[in-house]
Amino acid sequence: MKNKIIWTIAMLILTFSTVTPAHCKTRSDYMNIPGTIVYVAPDVTYTDLSAEVDIYNQLDPGVRQALANIGIRYYIINEKNDNTAYGHTGDTMFEGDGDGIWTATTSLNTIYSEGRLQKDLKYGGTVMNHELGHVVDVLYGGGQIFDRCISGQNEFGASNTEEWTQLYKKYKTTIAGFGGLSKYEVYNAAEAFAESYGHYAKDPAKVRKAAPEIAAYIDIVNADVIYRFAPEYYQN
């Protein structure tokens, strides 16, 4: 009964938002969970929603605030009744300005990620935090990206450095062995970074033990993103 009451109250205070990037799917009926960047399908149960919010809270608080400050949205897809825009387990999309360029310093643009609820719960949250890892990847160094929804082109920051290139080569097999969908997510440097990011959020001790240099690199990336986009959380 308590869960039902809480869910009813949440439903009453949820806000609605429409995402309309060029050529990307609109989710105007999805509802925001107050205090998060999470948007949920109307048919997601309170229990599943609570589990997803717990997964979101695995992220560093400063990173969560940075994502919120920029206006990032994460959509929880109930795959029993819906699908992601491209049919993948998860997707991250960027809506640029009229020229197809997204920058983190303008309010004219939208970034959003989405993932299948059932897959995320099955794999312990590495779908959501993998997709948000793509966003963090882009934000590193200031953030700029070509509009994926229009051109399919993208330009990352953290996974495009020489340091990550070397780490990717060194730890590719290790990342593939992290578990869940990892063996499918090492086919390029950007995907390997996002997969590492998701597992680091879920189980930092495991990643530190298996790939200490990756853990240290993600710490540097997080600190940079927090410094730029949530300075109130930055600790030198």
Q: pLDDT tens digits, residue range 185-219?
A: 778 888 899 999 999 998 999 999 999 999 999 99
pLDDT of residue 71: 83
Residue 6 has pLDDT above 60, yes or no: no
CA 226 from chain centre, in angstroms, equals 15
Contact (Cβ atoms closer than 8 angstroms) between residue 70 and residue 104: yes
Distances from the Cα of 53 to the Cαs of 10, 97, 171, in angstroms?
13, 31, 30
Least confident of 10-24, 52-66, 111-125: 10-24
CA-based R_g, the chain, Å = 17
pLDDT of residue 16: 25
Query: What is the topology classification, in CATH, of domain 2-233?
Result: Collagenase (Catalytic Domain) (3.40.390)
Tell me the mean pLDDT in the region 169-190.
82
Q: pLDDT tens digits, residue range 40-75?
A: 888 888 898 899 899 899 999 999 999 998 888 888
Residue 98 has pLDDT above 70, yes or no: no
Confidence band, pLDDT 50/70/90 cuts, at residue 155: low
